[in-house]
Amino acid sequence: MHIYRHEIRYYECDRMGITHHSNYVRIMEEARIDFLDKIGYGFDRIEAEGVVSPVVSVECKYKSPTTFKDIVEVEVTLCNMSDLKFEFKYVMKKDGKLVAEGHSVHCFTENGRPVVIAKRLPELTALLQQKL
């Protein structure tokens, strides 16, 4: 598990003063990017090697609102990995209280075609397997 912290910005809030629901998916992406950076194999490196990782699916369940200046702590967990995709779980909290839960699935492609990540990026595969 990895913890990422995000401070809610003014522009992320709607007319009611709460964080717009669409921003939680973006916060999940920030947390996933930070997770990969922290294990030493960030998206910049993955893409420099010719591989991209598109989203296959994403979901977010909202439990409690957040507002401007709130700090959202995101627990990022790699929960599953196969030859062609990996899955992350996100638990988002403010002051220890659950605000949202999410899940995302990503594949790996090169030139628009799926790639077996263990063969194409074995070092990344090894690092990710340590996190399962």
Using DSSP's 3-state secondary structure scheme, residue 15 falls into coil
Chain-centroid distance, C-alpha 37: 11
Task: Tell the residue number behind the tokens 């921003």, with chain if given.
Answer: 23
Q: Render pLDDT for 10-26 as a digit per residue (tens, 0 to 9).
A: 999 999 999 999 999 99
The per-residue pLDDT for 2 is 87
Q: Render pLDDT for 71-105 as a digit per residue (tens, 0 to 9).
A: 999 999 999 999 899 999 999 999 999 999 999 99
Number of domains in the chain: 1
To the query of whether residue 14 is one of the catalytic residues in this protein, the response is yes
Give the predicted TM-score (pTM) of the model. Answer: 0.92
Domain limits for position 17: 2-130
Which CATH number belongs to the domain containing residue 124 in this structure? 3.10.129.10
Catalytic residue among 14, 34, 37, 44: 14
Burial of 75 per CB tally in 10 Å (0-12, 13-18, 19+):
middle
